[in-house]
């Protein structure tokens, strides 16, 4: 009998983390939960970890810088980046930094487990016939500038020439559909 897979859930939403932890424990995983960078790194240093679900935004911080830190400790770690703030820029950067997959919320345990299993690219992926809307392009641009400023809202607002509160309102909205 082989050892169960270990899973580290890193998200600042305790309800989501508990729901996912319960679902993965039912599937036979050993589950650890972290709600910030320090907890995540501590768990990673103390325990062997096979898989990790990492939120893109952990409180006011970006989860992107955590990817190489986790991989330095466990080079074979299979990381799925999970986010409610998806953008092309953050998806590309997450993959470049070493994440295996990038999923948009809402995602359940089935979606996440499928993402862990999918290790090869898909050359048959659907390509849209129409370009993205202006609103979607604005959303993408804001996410890129936010990532360029390491999640700093004030610096991003200055770079965009936008009032900080206006930017915060825009960030609270769900991503615009294409």
Range of the domain at 66: 6-117
Residue 63 lies in a domain: yes
Distance (Å) of CA 83 to CA 88, 124, 151 = 12, 24, 14
Confidence band (pLDDT; 50, 70, 90) for 143? Answer: confident
Segment 114-133 shows an average pLDDT of 75
Q: Which comes out higher in pLDDT, residue 3 or 94?
A: 94
Hey, which of 29-43, 55-69, 113-127 has the most confident mean pLDDT? 29-43
Which pLDDT value is given to residue 54?
96
Question: Strand 51-55 and strand 101-104: pairing?
Answer: unpaired
Confidence band (pLDDT; 50, 70, 90) for 50? Answer: very high
Residue 123 lies in a domain: no
Segment 86-112 shows an average pLDDT of 88
Q: What is the mean pLDDT of the chain?
A: 86
Domain CATH for 97: 3.40.50.2300
Q: Is the pLDDT of residue 121 over 70?
A: no
108 and 22 in a common domain: yes
| Residues 169/14/23/96 CA torsion (nearest 10 deg) | 60
Residue 124 lies in a domain: no
Segment 19-23 shows an average pLDDT of 94
Distance (Å) of CA 68 to CA 51, 79, 118, 134 = 14, 10, 20, 33
157 and 88 in a common domain: no
Encode burial over 24-37: b for 16+ CB neighbours within 10 A, e otherwise: beeeebbbbbbbeb
């Amino acid at each position: 009998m082989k050892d169960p897979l270990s899973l580290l859930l890193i998200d600042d939403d305790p309800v989501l983390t508990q729901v996912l932890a319960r679902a993965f424990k039912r599937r036979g995983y050993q589950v650890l939960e972290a709600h910030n960078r320090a907890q995540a790194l501590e768990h990673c240093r103390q325990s062997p970890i096979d898989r990790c679900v990492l939120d893109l935004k952990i409180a006011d911080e970006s989860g992107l810088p955590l990817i190489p830190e986790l991989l330095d400790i466990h080079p074979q770690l299979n990381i799925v980046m999970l986010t409610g703030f998806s953008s092309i820029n953050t998806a590309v950067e997450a993959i470049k930094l070493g994440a295996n997959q990038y999923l948009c919320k809402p995602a359940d345990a089935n979606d996440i487990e499928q993402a862990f299993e999918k290790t090869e690219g898909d050359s048959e992926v659907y390509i849209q016939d129409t370009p993205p809307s202006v609103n979607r392009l604005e959303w993408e641009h804001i996410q890129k500038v936010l990532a360029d400023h390491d999640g700093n809202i004030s610096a991003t607002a200055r770079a965009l020439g936008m009032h900080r509160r206006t930017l915060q309102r825009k960030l609270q909205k769900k991503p615009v559909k294409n």
